[in-house]
Amino acid sequence: MTPRGVAEKEEETETGVAAAPVLEARQLVRTFGPVVAVDDVSFTLAPGEFLTVFGPNGAGKTTLLRMLGGGLAPTRGEVRIGGDRLDPRTSGWWHRLGVLSHPVSYT
């Protein structure tokens, strides 16, 4: 069974050609010294799908989102946007993401 929001295969476009996944995470791992913050996360999102990330404090949600947005390099694994590997060291990738991050105020 595939969780809701996770594609099993590429969807076809109106022209009948398979569309590249919008977002792919492939075996993402992020460590900070001996601490494993994200451990082997993989998923594929097709056009029109969405992903919700939730869990307790310290579960690695923010670390995962920072890797998906290009703000933090994974220790291992890769992120792909529209089939292209995300490489924050190169210019021009950020305009495709639409990521907005801001501090949260509880006052």
pLDDT in tens, 65-102: 989 888 889 999 999 988 888 876 766 666 666 666 66
Distance of CA 43 to the CA centre of its chain: 8
Task: Please give the model's pTM, rounded to 2 decimal places.
Answer: 0.73
Place of tokens 């404090």: 57
Average pLDDT, the chain: 79
**Angle value at C-alpha 68, between 62 and 72, nearest 5 degrees:** 70
Nearest residue to 21 via CA among 31, 29, 11 = 11
